[in-house]
Each structure stands twice: as structure tokens, then as C-alpha cells.
A = this chain, B = another copy of it.
Amino acid sequence: VEADVRQSKQCAGFRAAGVAAGIKKNAAPDLGLIVSDGAATVAAVFTRNCVQAAPVTISRQRATSGVGQAVIVNSGNANCCTGEQGMRDAVAMADAAANAVGIDPERVLVASTGVIGEPLPLAKIQKALPALSDALRQDGFEDFAEAIMTTDTVPKLVRRQGDIEGHPFTVLAAAKGAGMIRPDMATMLCFVCTDVGIDAGLLQQCLHRAVDRTLNRISIDGDTSTNDTVLVLANGCSGAQVATPSQLEAFQVLLCDLLGDIAHRLVKDGEGVTKVVDLTVAGAASDTEAFQIADAVAHSPLVKTAFFGQDANWGRVIAAAGRAGVPLDPDRIDLYFNDVQMVRNGRGCGPRAEALATTVLQRPEFAVTIKLNQGDGRATLLTCDFSVEYVKINADYRS
């Protein structure tokens, strides 16, 4: 069984590892490496924050080539707001990884996550790289996923298998998240390995589509990181090719499913999260307006603290919707917690609905649906509550 489980976390032609390099204060794993046996097609999505970490700048440049072979990632330090030295450190970190595994440094992508504004402890990374390289194994992705964690409480590692014209193929993703997450950005570190063969343009297109539907539709606290990176490496080792529309469809569906699973895990393990909330705004004048309203509700501290308090305080949901900057008619709003209708035409449905809704909010996951009854626009966001623990985690983050 153990062998089966380990087998289940592999992807043909890829090896991975994670070790403790001493970057984190607590001796936890903090340096991870993924290497493909041969050159792989690369696609990537990065943060849209104007303030971008050095590794983002380096990886963005290198990803444009469409070719890569390895990713080196550290946690515990973001290598951000570190100026020219930070750029040199990011390149040197990639160089050290390239040397250790014997590949072209230009084929090494790099990512960092952790505290902003402190110099990268490059010497520790360089010192740890031989051991990290020695530790590379096909079943090393769990160690990798653990090494990239910051305030995550569990590693996120997900795998899906499909078949394209008789060729089985695999897509595997390791991610870290937890805080500084909002929609409409590449919202975390996420590294996807797949053994399909695909060209860089198609892979980039598949990645954008999948991210738009999954990782860009989650919100924890509305902040966006300076280091957000989603990378895909596709090495072709399975023999499955993605080129025709039907092949593309098979791959796209699996990639969306995989990243949807990652997105859900990221929210569930968000900082201090006790409730995962599937928020839908329907009946808006347009999808864009629906999204604007969902965004306002998903980021309202009053709504989020009510979720934490298991309080079906629908008035706060309506009030947050009302300030989204979108015209709406309050007297036409319907609101549901799961299947329980709480509001009809802008007015509360009374104590019985309230009692039923309260039991819904006691669950760890539930849906909130706002129907505006004004058009066909629709948007869905995966969000969460705002807990005492979130504040404690983030007040004490650097101590």
C-alpha cells in the first residue's frame, strides 16, 4: 500500500525533493527542487502586483523561451524589495541548482516565498543544494510540497490521470497558499508537472484558461503577493500528445480539475480559516458586475467575521453587495445559504429561515447565493471566514 501511495504521487520523467536549508527559523524544510529528465515545455502566470520579487522577474524572462527543465523554490524569504542584490541572488540560486543537477542554468526557473525585504540567505541555499540534488526521487513531491509551505498547515499535492488516444498521462501539482490571496491574480506558488507533449503556446493558453476558472476565483484576505507564480512543465514522457482540439480538450479538462482541487485546498487551509464559502452572484446585468459584487462581499470583513461567528447575518451580505459600485435594486434581491432562502425581494424570510440558515453556517463548507434578478450575469468565488486565528497568525508573522 505504501508503494501504491508513493506511486500515486509521481509523474513520468520528473523527480523532486525538499530539504531544510536553515532559511526558516524553525529548522523546517525550506528548499525544494523539481527536475525533468529532459527539456520540458514551460508556461507560467505571475502576480500582477507592481511590486514583484526578484525571482518573479527572472522566471518571467526565462519562461518566455517556452523551455525549462527545473524549478528551485525556497520558503522563509521572499527575495522581494531586495534590489540589484536580490536579482543577483535569484540568478545565483538558479545557477547553484543547475550546477548540482548538471543542466543549463537558463533552463532553471526560480521562486521564493516568505518575508519581504530581507536579503536572501544565498550561502545557505548553495550549501544545501548538493544534498537536495542527491535527494531527488520520482516519489519526492511530498517532500517538495512540504518544503514550499509558509503558514500552510498541510502540504498541497494533487494528481490526476487521463488518457489521450490510448496514451495514459498524468498531471501533478504542488502548491502553497494560505494568505495574501485574492482573485484575478496568479495567487500563490503552484508548480504543475505533466508528462504530455505540447507546444509552449498551447500550454500557455491551457494554463490561462484553467487559472481563470480556478486559482483566480479564490479569495482569502484580498491581499496579493509580490511573489505569486504558477508554472507548468510538460516533458512529453508519457507519449501522449496535445495538439488537436480533442487532445487539447482532454488535457484542459484535467488541468482545470486539478487546479480546481488545488484552489479548494488553498482556501480550506487559508490562514485561520474555519469556513469555506462557495459564493455565487447570479442575475446581474453582466458577468463583470456579478464579479464586482462577489468581490465586495468576499472581502467584507463584516461578512467574513459573521461567517466565523456562524451568524446568518444576511444584512451584512446585502450591505456589502450594495457598496460594490454596481447599480442594483435592493428590493429584488434573493439570498440563499445552501438551499435555505433567507431573503426574498430584499426582505428577510423570518425566524424559521433564520434557524435553518444557522444550521447551514455551522457546517465547515456552505454556499451563499445572491440572486439580483436583473439579468443573466453570473460569477462564483471560493472564499472563507475571517477568524481570531487569522489576526493572531498575521500579527505575529515575523516574530
Contacts and interface: CB of A to CB of B under 8 A. Distances in A.
Given A49-B322, A81-B330, 19 more contacts: A49-B319, A50-B321, A50-B322, A50-B326, A50-B327, A50-B328, A51-B319, A51-B330, A115-B315, A116-B313, A117-B318, A117-B347, A117-B348, A223-B302, A305-B390, A313-B397, A386-B391, A388-B391, A388-B392
B395 A308 contact: yes
A225 B346 CA distance: 16
Interface residues of A, number: 65
Interface string A301-313: 1100110110101
B347 A83 contact: yes
A396 B308 CA distance: 9
Given A81-B348, A327-B50, A392-B388, A224 B319 contact: yes
Interface in A346-399: 346-348, 386-388, 390-399
B388 A221 contact: no
Interface in A144-199: 179-180, 185
A50 B223 CA distance: 25
B222 A315 contact: no
A222 B391 CA distance: 16
A97 interface: no
A21 B191 CA distance: 61
A311 B397 contact: yes
A34 to B, nearest CB: 26
A35 to B, nearest CB: 31
Nearest to A396: B309
A118 interface: yes
B221 A302 contact: yes
Nearest to A324: B50
Number of copies: 2
A226 interface: yes
A218 interface: no
Contact of A83 (B323, B331, B390): B331
A180 B318 CA distance: 13
The prevalent SS among residues of A at the interface is loop
A300 interface: yes
B50 A330 contact: yes
Contacts of A392: 388
Nearest to A394: B305
A14 interface: no
B314 A117 contact: yes
Contacts of A348: 81, 117-118
A78 interface: yes
* Residue among A185, A302, A327 with max Cβ neighbours from chain B (10 Å): A302
Contacts of A388: 388, 391-392, 395
Given A222-B301, A390-B391, A81 B347 contact: yes
B81 A315 contact: yes
Minimum-distance CB pairs A-B, first 7: A116-B315, A309-B395, A51-B322, A305-B394, A50-B322, A117-B315, A49-B322
Contacts of A391: 305, 308, 386-388, 390-391
A396 to B, nearest CB: 6
